[in-house]
Amino acid sequence: MEEYIDRVLISKEELGKRVVELGAEITRDYEGKKILVLGILKGAVPFMADLIREIKLPLAYDFMALSSYGVSTQSSGVVRILKDLERSVEDVHILIAEDIVDTGLTLKYLKENLRARNPLSVKVVTLLDKAARRKADVTPDYNGFSIPDEFVVGYGLDFNEEYRNLPYIGVLKQEAYEIN
Ligand SMILES: O=P(O)(O)OC[C@H]1O[C@H](OP(=O)(O)OP(=O)(O)O)[C@H](O)[C@@H]1O
Ligand code: HPA
């Protein structure tokens, strides 16, 4: 698997350090508030699993599954809900946990959809922000790393469902696209 990694963009150690910082910041900001951490399947899972253990407050978590990319590296712009929340969110502060904000189309759709359910607030924590590719006007409230316009994999991020289990964020070699 790692023979197709061109280079490590963010190491395991850097990821760990930044997740601790994000958790501390969120802990300060949400003191006394009822939080629902909403993980967006599947990419956010490793990040969210690490992040929730650095948020030193009582919280609940749930998941939604959305689809905009399919098997392609290009967003189709059409977002579908594949798995929805299981309960009302009117009494909670929603903190959406994403692995990456790229075009922003997924997040724009999701924020509008959630706001219509009248939660106390909706904010976003993303591990990665690829702002150069933004098409929708959305800005994450908490961002782990701003990254350049390159397709990245690892720590939850995939190419054709592979590489999610790499412990770091890496850039794929061109050959990886050619064999798939
Ligand atoms: O800002 P955007 O251009 O909309 O892209 C970001 C979305 O794309 C990825 O999900 P994907 O649809 O690839 O699903 P996955 O998490 O299951 O890999 C990522 O997890 C975000 O949800
Ligand atoms: O760079 C990326 N890598 C993996 N999945 C993604 N979804 C949006 N951008 C990316």
Mean pLDDT for the stretch of residues 128-149:
96
**If you write DSSP's letter for every residue of 58-118 in order, what string do you get?**
-EEEEEEEEES-TTSSS--S--EEEE--SS--TTSEEEEEEEEESSSHHHHHHHHHHHTT-
Total domains in the fold of the chain: 1
**Domain-embedded: residue 8:** no
Percent of the chain scoring above 90 in pLDDT: 86
**Domain-embedded: residue 143:** yes
Atom 6 of ligand 2: nearest residue by CA position: 157
**ipTM more than 0.95?**
yes
**Domain-embedded: residue 6:** no
Lining residues, ligand 1, CB within 6 Å: 40-43, 67-69, 75, 98-107, 158
CATH number for the domain harbouring residue 45: 3.40.50.2020
Please name which ligand lies nearest the alpha carbon of 169. Answer: 2
**Domain-embedded: residue 46:** yes
**Domain-embedded: residue 114:** yes
**Domain-embedded: residue 154:** no
pLDDT tens digits, one per residue of 31-70: 999 999 999 999 999 999 999 999 999 999 999 999 876 5
pLDDT tens digits, one per residue of 139-172: 999 999 999 999 999 999 999 999 999 999 999 9
- Single pTM value for the model: 0.94
**Domain-embedded: residue 158:** no
Residue-number span of the structural domain to which 61 is assigned: 13-147
- What pLDDT, on the 0 to 100 scale, is given for residue 7? 96
Respond yes or no: is residue 102 known to be catalytic: yes
From the alpha carbon of 43, which atom of ligand 2 is closest? 5
